[in-house]
Protein backbone atom coordinates (compact mmCIF):
# COMPACT_ATOMS: atom_id res chain seq x y z
CA UNK A 1 0.00 0.00 0.00
CA UNK A 2 1.42 3.37 -1.05
CA UNK A 3 0.34 6.73 0.37
CA UNK A 4 0.65 10.29 -0.90
CA UNK A 5 4.13 10.68 0.66
CA UNK A 6 5.52 7.89 -1.48
CA UNK A 7 5.81 5.54 1.47
CA UNK A 8 5.05 1.84 1.12
CA UNK A 9 3.27 0.13 4.03
CA UNK A 10 2.36 -3.55 3.91
CA UNK A 11 -1.32 -4.22 4.68
CA UNK A 12 -0.40 -6.47 7.61
CA UNK A 13 1.67 -3.76 9.33
CA UNK A 14 0.15 -1.89 12.29
CA UNK A 15 0.82 1.85 12.45
CA UNK A 16 -0.65 3.43 15.59
CA UNK A 17 -2.40 6.79 15.37
CA UNK A 18 0.11 9.56 16.17
CA UNK A 19 3.14 7.95 14.54
CA UNK A 20 5.00 10.27 12.16
CA UNK A 21 6.03 8.67 8.88
CA UNK A 22 8.34 10.53 6.50
CA UNK A 23 8.54 10.37 2.73
CA UNK A 24 9.67 7.22 0.99
CA UNK A 25 9.45 5.07 4.11
CA UNK A 26 9.05 1.32 3.51
CA UNK A 27 7.35 -0.79 6.18
CA UNK A 28 7.22 -4.53 5.61
CA UNK A 29 4.79 -7.22 6.71
CA UNK A 30 3.81 -7.69 10.36
CA UNK A 31 5.68 -4.62 11.61
CA UNK A 32 4.38 -2.60 14.56
CA UNK A 33 4.97 1.16 14.88
CA UNK A 34 3.83 2.81 18.11
CA UNK A 35 2.05 6.16 18.51
CA UNK A 36 5.13 8.12 19.68
CA UNK A 37 7.44 6.89 16.92
CA UNK A 38 8.94 9.13 14.26
CA UNK A 39 10.40 7.60 11.12
CA UNK A 40 12.35 10.05 8.95
CA UNK A 41 12.50 9.95 5.15
CA UNK A 42 13.70 6.75 3.54
CA UNK A 43 13.64 4.55 6.64
CA UNK A 44 13.08 0.90 5.80
CA UNK A 45 11.62 -1.66 8.20
CA UNK A 46 11.80 -5.26 7.05
CA UNK A 47 9.26 -7.78 8.32
CA UNK A 48 8.29 -8.28 12.00
CA UNK A 49 10.02 -5.13 13.27
CA UNK A 50 8.71 -3.57 16.49
CA UNK A 51 9.31 0.15 17.08
CA UNK A 52 7.70 1.44 20.27
CA UNK A 53 8.13 4.18 22.86
CA UNK A 54 9.33 7.68 22.05
CA UNK A 55 11.69 6.48 19.33
CA UNK A 56 13.05 8.51 16.44
CA UNK A 57 14.86 6.85 13.52
CA UNK A 58 16.95 8.97 11.17
CA UNK A 59 16.70 9.06 7.40
CA UNK A 60 17.99 6.15 5.36
CA UNK A 61 18.32 3.73 8.28
CA UNK A 62 17.51 0.12 7.40
CA UNK A 63 16.07 -2.14 10.10
CA UNK A 64 16.03 -5.88 9.43
CA UNK A 65 13.58 -8.55 10.55
CA UNK A 66 12.65 -9.14 14.20
CA UNK A 67 14.44 -6.07 15.54
CA UNK A 68 12.91 -4.48 18.67
CA UNK A 69 13.52 -0.76 19.17
CA UNK A 70 12.37 1.59 21.92
CA UNK A 71 11.37 -0.94 24.54
CA UNK A 72 11.37 -0.13 28.25
CA UNK A 73 14.81 -0.14 29.88
CA UNK A 74 15.83 -3.30 31.69
CA UNK A 75 16.33 -1.37 34.92
CA UNK A 76 14.30 -2.01 38.07
CA UNK A 77 14.67 1.62 39.18
CA UNK A 78 12.90 2.96 36.10
CA UNK A 79 9.38 4.09 37.08
CA UNK A 80 7.87 4.49 33.65
CA UNK A 81 8.60 8.17 33.03
CA UNK A 82 8.85 9.64 29.55
CA UNK A 83 12.24 8.75 28.07
CA UNK A 84 13.50 8.48 24.51
CA UNK A 85 15.58 6.59 21.97
CA UNK A 86 17.11 8.59 19.13
CA UNK A 87 18.76 6.73 16.26
CA UNK A 88 20.65 8.68 13.61
CA UNK A 89 20.72 8.39 9.86
CA UNK A 90 22.00 5.69 7.50
CA UNK A 91 22.41 2.96 10.10
CA UNK A 92 22.07 -0.74 9.37
CA UNK A 93 20.39 -2.70 12.18
CA UNK A 94 20.40 -6.44 11.59
CA UNK A 95 18.15 -9.27 12.74
CA UNK A 96 17.04 -9.53 16.40
CA UNK A 97 19.05 -6.50 17.53
CA UNK A 98 17.55 -4.49 20.43
CA UNK A 99 17.85 -0.89 21.61
CA UNK A 100 16.03 0.59 24.62
CA UNK A 101 14.93 4.05 25.70
CA UNK A 102 16.65 5.82 28.59
CA UNK A 103 15.66 5.75 32.27
CA UNK A 104 13.81 8.41 34.21
CA UNK A 105 16.55 8.39 36.87
CA UNK A 106 19.40 8.63 34.33
CA UNK A 107 20.05 10.55 31.14
CA UNK A 108 16.43 10.01 30.09
CA UNK A 109 17.58 9.21 26.56
CA UNK A 110 19.54 6.68 24.58
CA UNK A 111 21.36 8.18 21.59
CA UNK A 112 22.79 6.29 18.60
CA UNK A 113 24.75 8.20 15.96
CA UNK A 114 24.95 7.93 12.18
CA UNK A 115 26.29 5.28 9.80
CA UNK A 116 26.45 2.54 12.41
CA UNK A 117 26.39 -1.20 11.76
CA UNK A 118 24.59 -3.23 14.42
CA UNK A 119 24.77 -6.92 13.64
CA UNK A 120 22.38 -9.68 14.66
CA UNK A 121 21.45 -10.00 18.35
CA UNK A 122 23.50 -6.95 19.33
CA UNK A 123 22.10 -4.81 22.14
CA UNK A 124 22.27 -1.13 23.10
CA UNK A 125 20.99 -0.67 26.64
CA UNK A 126 19.31 2.32 28.27
CA UNK A 127 21.02 5.70 28.58
CA UNK A 128 23.90 4.82 26.22
CA UNK A 129 25.56 7.32 23.93
CA UNK A 130 26.88 5.69 20.75
CA UNK A 131 28.90 7.69 18.23
CA UNK A 132 29.07 7.64 14.44
CA UNK A 133 30.38 4.75 12.31
CA UNK A 134 30.26 2.35 15.27
CA UNK A 135 30.10 -1.41 14.67
CA UNK A 136 28.56 -3.84 17.14
CA UNK A 137 29.34 -7.30 15.81
CA UNK A 138 27.04 -10.32 16.21
CA UNK A 139 25.88 -10.69 19.82
CA UNK A 140 27.82 -7.68 21.14
CA UNK A 141 26.16 -6.08 24.17
CA UNK A 142 26.71 -2.70 25.78
CA UNK A 143 25.21 -2.17 29.23
CA UNK A 144 23.39 0.87 30.56
CA UNK A 145 25.04 4.31 30.60
CA UNK A 146 27.92 3.23 28.33
CA UNK A 147 29.58 5.66 25.92
CA UNK A 148 31.06 4.43 22.63
CA UNK A 149 33.21 6.76 20.53
CA UNK A 150 33.19 7.23 16.76
CA UNK A 151 34.49 4.36 14.60
CA UNK A 152 34.79 1.98 17.56
CA UNK A 153 34.27 -1.75 16.95
CA UNK A 154 32.86 -4.17 19.54
CA UNK A 155 33.60 -7.78 18.60
CA UNK A 156 31.15 -10.65 18.47
CA UNK A 157 29.74 -11.94 21.79
CA UNK A 158 31.60 -9.23 23.70
CA UNK A 159 29.92 -7.67 26.75
CA UNK A 160 30.65 -4.11 27.85
CA UNK A 161 29.85 -3.46 31.51
CA UNK A 162 27.50 -0.62 32.42
CA UNK A 163 29.00 2.88 32.73
CA UNK A 164 32.10 1.90 30.69
CA UNK A 165 33.48 4.22 28.01
CA UNK A 166 34.94 2.95 24.74
CA UNK A 167 37.18 5.54 23.07
CA UNK A 168 37.06 6.52 19.42
CA UNK A 169 38.55 3.98 16.99
CA UNK A 170 39.06 1.49 19.80
CA UNK A 171 38.64 -2.23 19.16
CA UNK A 172 37.21 -4.73 21.66
CA UNK A 173 38.02 -8.25 20.51
CA UNK A 174 35.34 -10.93 20.27
CA UNK A 175 34.23 -12.89 23.34
CA UNK A 176 35.74 -10.31 25.69
CA UNK A 177 34.40 -8.89 28.94
CA UNK A 178 35.06 -5.14 29.05
CA UNK A 179 34.80 -3.88 32.64
CA UNK A 180 37.02 -0.78 32.35
CA UNK A 181 37.28 2.16 29.99
CA UNK A 182 39.16 1.49 26.76
CA UNK A 183 41.35 4.38 25.58
CA UNK A 184 40.92 5.85 22.09
CA UNK A 185 42.70 3.70 19.48
CA UNK A 186 43.20 0.97 22.08
CA UNK A 187 42.76 -2.76 21.53
CA UNK A 188 41.20 -4.67 24.44
CA UNK A 189 41.14 -8.46 24.63
CA UNK A 190 40.04 -11.06 27.14
CA UNK A 191 37.71 -11.91 29.98
CA UNK A 192 38.23 -8.87 32.22
CA UNK A 193 39.97 -7.42 29.21
CA UNK A 194 43.49 -6.02 29.13
CA UNK A 195 44.97 -3.57 26.66
CA UNK A 196 47.03 -5.17 23.91
CA UNK A 197 48.46 -2.00 22.44
CA UNK A 198 46.73 -0.06 19.68
CA UNK A 199 44.16 -0.87 17.02
CA UNK A 200 46.71 -0.57 14.24
CA UNK A 201 44.29 -1.57 11.47
CA UNK A 202 41.85 1.14 12.52
CA UNK A 203 44.63 3.68 12.74
CA UNK A 204 45.78 2.90 9.23
CA UNK A 205 42.22 3.23 7.95
CA UNK A 206 41.94 6.63 9.59
CA UNK A 207 45.08 7.82 7.82
CA UNK A 208 47.30 8.32 10.86
CA UNK A 209 50.86 8.56 9.50
CA UNK A 210 53.52 6.07 10.56
CA UNK A 211 55.54 8.72 12.38
CA UNK A 212 52.57 9.55 14.59
CA UNK A 213 51.95 5.85 15.27
CA UNK A 214 55.52 5.52 16.54
CA UNK A 215 55.03 8.55 18.77
CA UNK A 216 51.81 7.06 20.10
CA UNK A 217 53.63 3.85 21.01
CA UNK A 218 56.22 5.83 22.92
CA UNK A 219 53.47 7.71 24.73
CA UNK A 220 51.66 4.44 25.50
CA UNK A 221 54.72 3.15 27.34
CA UNK A 222 54.97 6.43 29.26
CA UNK A 223 51.29 6.53 30.24
CA UNK A 224 51.22 2.95 31.48
CA UNK A 225 54.66 2.86 33.12
CA UNK A 226 54.01 0.97 36.41
CA UNK A 227 56.92 2.71 38.14
CA UNK A 228 54.93 5.93 38.59
CA UNK A 229 51.34 6.90 39.46
CA UNK A 230 49.04 7.29 36.46
CA UNK A 231 48.47 10.98 37.19
CA UNK A 232 52.21 11.62 37.01
CA UNK A 233 52.54 9.62 33.81
CA UNK A 234 49.75 11.64 32.18
CA UNK A 235 51.43 14.88 33.18
CA UNK A 236 54.74 13.75 31.66
CA UNK A 237 53.05 12.57 28.46
CA UNK A 238 51.04 15.79 28.12
CA UNK A 239 54.25 17.82 28.04
CA UNK A 240 56.30 15.40 25.93
CA UNK A 241 53.69 14.67 23.25
CA UNK A 242 51.83 17.94 22.90
CA UNK A 243 52.64 17.84 19.16
CA UNK A 244 50.78 14.53 18.65
CA UNK A 245 46.98 15.05 18.46
CA UNK A 246 46.08 11.38 18.97
CA UNK A 247 48.11 11.23 22.19
CA UNK A 248 46.43 14.38 23.45
CA UNK A 249 43.05 12.79 22.67
CA UNK A 250 44.00 9.77 24.80
CA UNK A 251 45.16 11.98 27.67
CA UNK A 252 41.96 14.05 27.54
CA UNK A 253 39.92 10.83 27.61
CA UNK A 254 41.78 9.54 30.66
CA UNK A 255 41.58 12.84 32.51
CA UNK A 256 37.95 13.40 31.55
CA UNK A 257 36.49 11.81 34.67
CA UNK A 258 37.72 11.22 38.17
CA UNK A 259 38.24 7.79 39.71
CA UNK A 260 37.72 5.81 36.53
CA UNK A 261 38.73 2.18 36.10
CA UNK A 262 40.65 1.63 32.87
CA UNK A 263 41.65 -1.38 30.85
CA UNK A 264 45.43 -1.46 31.26
CA UNK A 265 48.22 -3.55 29.75
CA UNK A 266 49.01 -6.91 31.41
CA UNK A 267 51.96 -7.04 33.75
CA UNK A 268 55.26 -7.41 31.92
CA UNK A 269 56.25 -11.02 31.56
CA UNK A 270 52.78 -12.42 32.17
CA UNK A 271 51.29 -15.04 29.88
CA UNK A 272 48.96 -12.42 28.47
CA UNK A 273 51.69 -9.89 27.73
CA UNK A 274 51.46 -9.26 24.00
CA UNK A 275 51.84 -6.23 21.76
CA UNK A 276 49.84 -4.82 18.89
CA UNK A 277 50.61 -5.62 15.28
CA UNK A 278 54.00 -4.32 14.17
CA UNK A 279 54.40 -2.15 11.11
Q: Which residues are catalytic?
A: 126-127, 144
Shortest CA distance to 122 belongs to which of 161, 180, 67?
67
d(CA 188, CA 240): 25
Phi, psi of 221 (to 5 degrees): -65, -35
Q: List Cβ neighbours of 203 (8 Å cut-off, separation of 6 or more).
A: 169, 185, 213, 216, 246
* Phi-psi label, residue 78: left if phi above 0, alpha if psi -120 to 50, beta otherwise: beta
Closest CA to 241 of 251, 232, 256: 251
Amino acid sequence: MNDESGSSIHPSAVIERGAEIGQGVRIGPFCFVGPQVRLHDGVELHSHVSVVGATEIGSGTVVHSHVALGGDPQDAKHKGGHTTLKIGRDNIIREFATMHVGTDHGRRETVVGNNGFFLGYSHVAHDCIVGDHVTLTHGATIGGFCEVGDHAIIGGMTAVHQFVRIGSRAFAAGCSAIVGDVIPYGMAVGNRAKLRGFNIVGMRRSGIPRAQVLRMREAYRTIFDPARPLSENLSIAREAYADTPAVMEIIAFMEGRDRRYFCVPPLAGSAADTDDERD
